[in-house]
Amino acid sequence: MKLSDGEKLIAIMLSDLYKHLNVNGEIDAEFISTAIYNNHLWSIPLKYSGLDLEDNEIPEDVKEVLNIMTMWRFIEHNYSELSHPDKSEVARLAAPFGDNPRFNGFDGNNETKQMGIAQCVIEELNRFNEFQDRDLNSHAPSLDGYRRMLPVFEAVQSSSLYEGNVSVEDLVSILRERIHPSNRS
């Protein structure tokens, strides 16, 4: 979705009028204002999918963050289903990332765009509720590791759809990709 500067100003002014007049419509004026101020126009067609908007293409960086969050949902859920001995095995084989693996977000200094997208998806679009109330600032570069993990995750996910279960080896193979190649033994 693209808006000209004038259209943004008009939308913000209309949102302010909605709030001032306590209008309770189907469109959340506060959400529209936040989407415009944070340059998250892509979120409007996601929130209001019933609107037939011309340009509702999801930007590539948003798709990537959604894929990363889907991967972490998969990892966390499947890890939680493991027995205690299997969790210990994941911790050992995928060290240092295998002990209670959790989505920690993105680096607040260098990956702010991705962190903002994740926050919008969770807080404004009410998706990935399991990540609600987490500090999404990992305080360390994360994106490169997540990008290495994604292809392995996609392969594991597609095979687990047919087999119905995720093994310790599957989780370890995903988590070990987070380790920089120069540090792998």
| Model pLDDT for residues 56-94, shown as the tens digit of each residue | 788 999 999 999 999 999 999 999 999 999 999 999 999
Residue type, 150: L
Q: Are 120 and 37 within 8 A, CB to CB?
A: no
Helix (H, G, I), strand (E, B) or coil at 58: coil
pLDDT in tens, 26-49: 889 999 999 999 999 999 989 988
In contact, 141 and 180? CB cutoff 8 Å: no
Q: Please tell me the predicted confidence (pLDDT) of residue 102.
A: 97
Question: Residue 161: pLDDT band by 50, 70, 90 thresholds?
Answer: low
Question: Do 68 and 84 touch, CB atoms closer than 8 A?
Answer: no
The overall average pLDDT reported for the chain is 92
Full-model pTM: 0.90
* 98-108 confidence digits (pLDDT tens): 999 999 999 99
In the predicted structure, residue 117 carries a pLDDT above the cut 90: yes
Instruction: Let me know: does 157 contact 74? Beta carbons within 8 Å.
Output: yes
End-to-end CA distance of the chain: 46
